[in-house]
Structure 1
């Protein structure tokens, strides 16, 4: 299915980390554009609330509780999506965690969690989704961070996970070009989400909807237009 207009009518999108923040806002934005949205995260109650909001607005949403660090859960997400809708057009890899602290004193379990969720989970879900995405003109949107291009003290594990996302995404883009699959890397600066609680005070943060609108723009462009990278900071952030 090609994205030839600003509408996503008839298209199917999976959004991970859809229970709050950027994921929730993106799910709403894609549903508003006409997509059937599959909501994936660990918190089922929150997912049900997001789905209810989408359906109240006339959209279509399916809740599939998913832990992106579990291979069986990932495969269940793909199988459930394709069984319900017959295919997959858009994958938004948004699930993520942030744990900050100096390398000398950090709990290494926090490093492990960030690598497993932010990087390996994203890679594994993409791997599982690619057969469905390459069956048509699919689109992978990977949510990274400014921390994927700029290191910061206290960010050793988080930086490592997001630098990894950036490298994986560009390599993937080059691999699937011939399959007519587009790949977009989104690198938000400070956004007002649960993750921002870990950050020091900054200028006024972005709203999750600001990122969601940019994602909607990227996936609704004509198929021959591929936005490879979006770096989005709030005005005033260094």
Structure 2
């Protein structure tokens, strides 16, 4: 299917690996000129974009740099994918509510919520002019708080609510806002031996390999497997395209059937 995206422009945050990199590749393959922003620039991102911006997207300054660079490089933004999220595995502490410091709460909210707030605010003038599209990458944890760092589910729930608010305010003005909520995805967050998945395995007293082998079952995925970044990216590319012209304010769950409620 031709998504009618040739010649469009996009800013993708958190684009150096995982879902963000898959989105940058998918959009580029559809003829979109992509600027990818991430704290660390990888050769893969440089190949999948017309420009790669090194920026700490958990800060106002980093987001400002990313959006300004995208506007300078592209001349305007048709598509904004607010993908950056998760957190730095070295700084995340697993534990209950009373175990978590204000610093972790701030880090979670800055990266998973305020990065999208700031990027959207900065890109909106161009998006309004071009009648563009925003796709926010949330999580099923917005609907089903589960094991993981305290603050993550709460920040993603706020991000999902933000998408609804933005769609109500700016949908009538031509900017479509939608949300994609993945379950467990086979990204470095889970598969990297130094990533968050390894910390979860250690806390559970099992090997990282054992955790990955059983993760779909542990999360109750009806499909029997976790999703891959390219599968999530395909949905995001569609939602950003004119083919989804009347999809506004929706939240698409991609979790292999983990969530058991409508």
**TM-score > 0.5 by shorter chain:** yes
Which digits, 9 at most, give the CA deviation of each residue in 1:138-196, with x for residues without a partner?
Answer: 10100000011112255531111111101111001101012100011010011011333
The reply on whether 1:6 has 2:3 as its aligned counterpart is: yes
Structure 2 contact 100–150 (Cα < 8 Å) conserved = no
* Equivalences, count: 226
Three-state SS of the structure 2 residue aligned to 1:151 is coil
Q: Which of 44, 49, 73 is matched with 1:49 structurally?
A: 44
- On the 8 A contact 1:102/1:153 being kept in 2, the answer is no
The residue matched to 2:54 in structure 1 has which SS?
coil
1:27 aligns with 2:27: no
Whether contact under 8 Å (1:97, 1:118) holds in the other structure is: yes
Cα displacement (A) at 1:221: 3.6
Deviation (angstroms), 1:42: 0.4
Choose from 176, 182, 187 the match for 1:182.
Answer: 176
* Aligned position for 1:194: 188
**Which structure: larger Rg?**
2
| CA pair 175-199 structure 1, distance change in 2 beyond 3 A | farther
Question: Take 2:125 and 2:258, find their aligned partners in 1: how far apart are those partners?
Answer: 42
Name structure 2 gaps, 5 residues minimum.
191-196, 202-210, 217-224
| Higher-RCO chain (CA-CA 8 Å, sequence separation at least 6) | 1
1:39 to 5, 15, 36: 36
Alignment map for 1:95-174 (pairs within 5 Å): 95-98=84-87, 99=92, 100-152=94-146, 154-174=148-168
Structure 1 unaligned spans of 5+: 55-59
Correspondence 1:224 to 2:245: yes
Per-residue CA deviations over 1:93-150 (Å, capped at 9, x if unaligned) read 0111244421122344222211111011111111111111001121010000001111
User: 2:66 matched to 1:71?
Assistant: no
TM-score normalised according to structure 1 size: 0.87
Q: Secondary structure at the match of 2:151?
A: helix
Please report how far the alpha carbon of residue 65 of structure 1 lies from its aligned counterpart in structure 2 after TM superposition.
1.2
C-alpha separation in 2, matches of 1:73 and 1:220: 27
What is the aligned-residue RMSD (CA, Å)? 2.0
